[in-house]
Structure 1
Amino acid sequence: MKILITPTSLCRDRDNPALEPLRAAGHELRFAETGRPLTAAELVGALPGVDGVIAGLDEYSAAVFDHASELKVIARYGVGVDNVDRDAAVAAGVVVTRTPGANAVAVAEMTIGLAFAAARGIPRLDAGVRAGQWPRGEGIELTGRSYGVVGFGAIGRLVADRARGLGMRVAAYDPLLPDAVFEAAGVDRADLDDLLSMSDVVSVHVPLLPETHHLLDARRLALLRAGAIVINTARGGLLDEAAALSALEAGRLHAVAIDVYDTEPPTASVLVGHPRVVSTPHSAGHTREAIARMAQGAVADVLTVLRGERSPNAVTP
């Protein structure tokens, strides 16, 4: 059977040991050549004759499934499935899986790293020294401040644990979880607006859905404490970038740190290049350890589904 592999990290490392079980099972591996996620039009041309995909952030619209008659499984290399039309996948008989928890530590550590980078202006200081300058920093300390975690799944809980370790007061918002989860983590539970009003730093860790699009809009950004930091390592559409820029320009925010954007690469982002914005290229989940776990999990899911078995990581019926 033919397996298409699209994540850029795996396409750069085609001999990754995690892919060996596919080869050992006799499957033919095909690799994307774009160096970026595939568009729906590109997938239409790439999927005929393909039985399974280890998928990055490619765009699986309904039209894609009309040109993928052999396709049986899309194994997401990561946790987000907002780029996959799951209704169309179900109608086409395609199983969609993901690798929950595989990159949770990586994303949580990056989130905290971005908090420090934004608080202290580390990228600006580094750029100044590289340019032969000797800039002065005007950063803020995180210890003793309040941290708001929006979305209290695996990543949100790890972020909360690390923020508490820094001596920060932590509260979290997640309407889908019982009180016991927050109590066990030692954090306060709060409604979203209340959470924002008490936060000096806030990070979002929720999926991008119609109801979460621009979850952090102008009204909610205005609720944050003066001089707050906003961090997004989840999905670009969660943060209203234009509203965040206005808050920065008005002096209401100390900084914004973003790893994800409305469009990627973010050629049209109004935030990239601002002196108080820290920008990274959707790389929060990319550590050696996380890449290995995601690849192993996605490969296992492909093999499971192609054997006609049910994957515990399936997000479709």
Structure 2
Amino acid sequence: MTPPAIAFAMQPDRTRHVFTPELVARLGRLAHILDERPMAEFDGRSEQLLAGTEILVTGWGAPSIDASVLHRAPRLRLIVHAAGTIKGLVDESVFDAGIKVTHAAEANSVPVAEFTLAAIIFAGKQVFRFRDIYAADRSRKRSQILQGEAIGNYRRTVGIVGASRIGRRVIALLRPFDYQVLLYDPLIGDAEAGVLKVEKADLDTLMARSDIVSLHAPLLPETRHMIDRRQLALMKDGATLINTARGALVDEAALIEKLQSGAIDAVIDVTHPEIPAENSPLYDLPNVFLTPHIAGAIGLERARLGEMAIEEIARFVEGRPLLFEVRKQDLGRMA
């Protein structure tokens, strides 16, 4: 059997480490690589590559794929996205043409869940507050006083908003600890909540009872600004909001106002817009730990994405079902 022809479409500077030399060699044993250099744009060089491509491997920064691209890729049978969501990368014409699509969102969920677990533990332990107090007084007098407050992670309540793949991973990572876990997800019934070993709660109850709230919902029209001024007002004094999902889930103006009051803390990896304005208070507020969208796969963690992509390609080549296939009906509820 003739091995299928593969091409790459992604931004090389954003996808370093996704396909290591070892992974490229493994891929070469499964299929014929037309060109190891990825297409950053579907330009002149891409015409010949697209004409012969049967499997297109995409990644961060890949140009979008629509009917006009499909017209130039008549042999295309599979798109493998070696990254997270494919929303915005492919349109419905891809599915209408019968082309299979799969992605590595499951692999990308691993570091996000790990980051979230670390954030939860640090938030419960008030690590950042201890750091600032210690640096300010250069002794342990004030930090010793803080140790006597009602802080720490024993029997704290963590609220998970969204039983997404990442939300579920976080729930699983929390099981060995002494947390009470609340879950808000209108799609989860009592039986499934029992399997997940969480307590179902409506959003108001979760926001009011939780010491730490972690967001893991997809950004959809109905979830935009789901955490608004009213929800933030329900949070306990001293509680922490963690967002590693999508910035627009939160009304940022209301959040900044709440943070400026000093009533809550926040660990924020995603914002809306993606990069806050230079004068945003989020950069300077002492009760905010702001990171530049690093919870997902970065550096060496990206190799998981390439590994999962190759595993899916192997299944396709061998005629086995894809494990992480995306279907047309999935687009409307994807992150």
What range describes the TM-score normalised by the shorter chain of this pair? Answer: 0.7 to 0.9
Query: More deviation in 15-24 or 179-188?
Result: 15-24
**Match in the other structure for 2:32:** 26
Q: Measured at CA, do residues 73 and 47 of structure 1 come closer, stay the same or move farther in structure 2, by a change above 3 Å?
A: farther
Instruction: Report the alpha carbon displacement of residue 297 of structure 1 after superposing the two structures with TM.
Output: 1.5
Instruction: Report the alpha carbon displacement of residue 189 of structure 1 after superposing the two structures with TM.
Output: 0.8
1:26 partner letter: H
**Match in the other structure for 2:86:** 81
Q: In the alignment, is the contact (CA less than 8 A) between 1:86 and 1:96 conserved in 2?
A: no
What is the rounded CA distance, in whole Å, between the counterparts of 2:89 and 2:108 in structure 1? 19
1:216 to 227, 242, 257: 227
Q: Measured at CA, do residues 8 and 231 of structure 1 come closer, stay the same or move farther in structure 2, by a change above 3 Å?
A: farther
Q: Which runs of structure 2 are paired with 1:250-265 in the superposition (5 Å)? A: 250-253=261-264, 255-265=265-275
2:101 partner letter: V
Q: Measured at CA, do residues 185 and 72 of structure 1 come closer, stay the same or move farther in structure 2, by a change above 3 Å?
A: same
Q: Give identity over the alignment, percent.
A: 32
2:208 partner letter: S
What is the rounded CA distance, in whole Å, between the counterparts of 2:173 and 2:317 in structure 1? 39
Q: Measured at CA, do residues 281 and 55 of structure 1 come closer, stay the same or move farther in structure 2, by a change above 3 Å?
A: farther
Task: Describe the superposition over 1:106-128 as per-residue Cα deviations: whole angstroms up to 9, x where unpaired.
Answer: 32221021123445564576689
Q: Which runs of structure 2 are paired with 1:126-165 in the superposition (5 Å)? A: 140-165=151-176
Q: In the alignment, is the contact (CA less than 8 A) between 1:74 and 1:302 conserved in 2?
A: no
Instruction: Report the alpha carbon displacement of residue 99 of structure 1 after superposing the two structures with TM.
Output: 2.6
2:208 to 197, 201, 219: 197
* 1:115 equivalent in alignment to 2:120: yes
Q: 2:182 is paired with a residue of what secondary structure?
A: strand
Q: In the alignment, is the contact (CA less than 8 A) between 2:244 and 2:270 conserved in 1?
A: yes
Query: What is the TM-score normalised by the length of structure 2?
Result: 0.74
* 1:66 equivalent in alignment to 2:68: yes
The structure with the larger Rg is 2
Q: 1:231 is paired with a residue of what secondary structure?
A: strand
What is the rounded CA distance, in whole Å, between the counterparts of 2:323 and 2:18 in structure 1? 27
What is the rounded CA distance, in whole Å, between the counterparts of 2:281 and 2:253 in structure 1? 7
Q: Measured at CA, do residues 186 and 120 of structure 1 come closer, stay the same or move farther in structure 2, by a change above 3 Å?
A: closer
Q: Measured at CA, do residues 192 and 78 of structure 1 come closer, stay the same or move farther in structure 2, by a change above 3 Å?
A: farther
Query: More deviation in 215-224 or 196-205?
Result: 215-224
**Match in the other structure for 1:37:** none
Unaligned residue ranges in structure 1 (runs of 5+): 33-41
Task: Describe the superposition over 1:167-226 as per-residue Cα deviations: whole angstroms up to 9, x where unpaired.
Answer: 222111222233222112322111222222211211111222222222222222222222
Structure with greater helix share of residues: 2
Instruction: Report the alpha carbon displacement of residue 18 of structure 1 after superposing the two structures with TM.
Output: 2.5
What is the rounded CA distance, in whole Å, between the counterparts of 1:128 and 1:9 in structure 2? 37
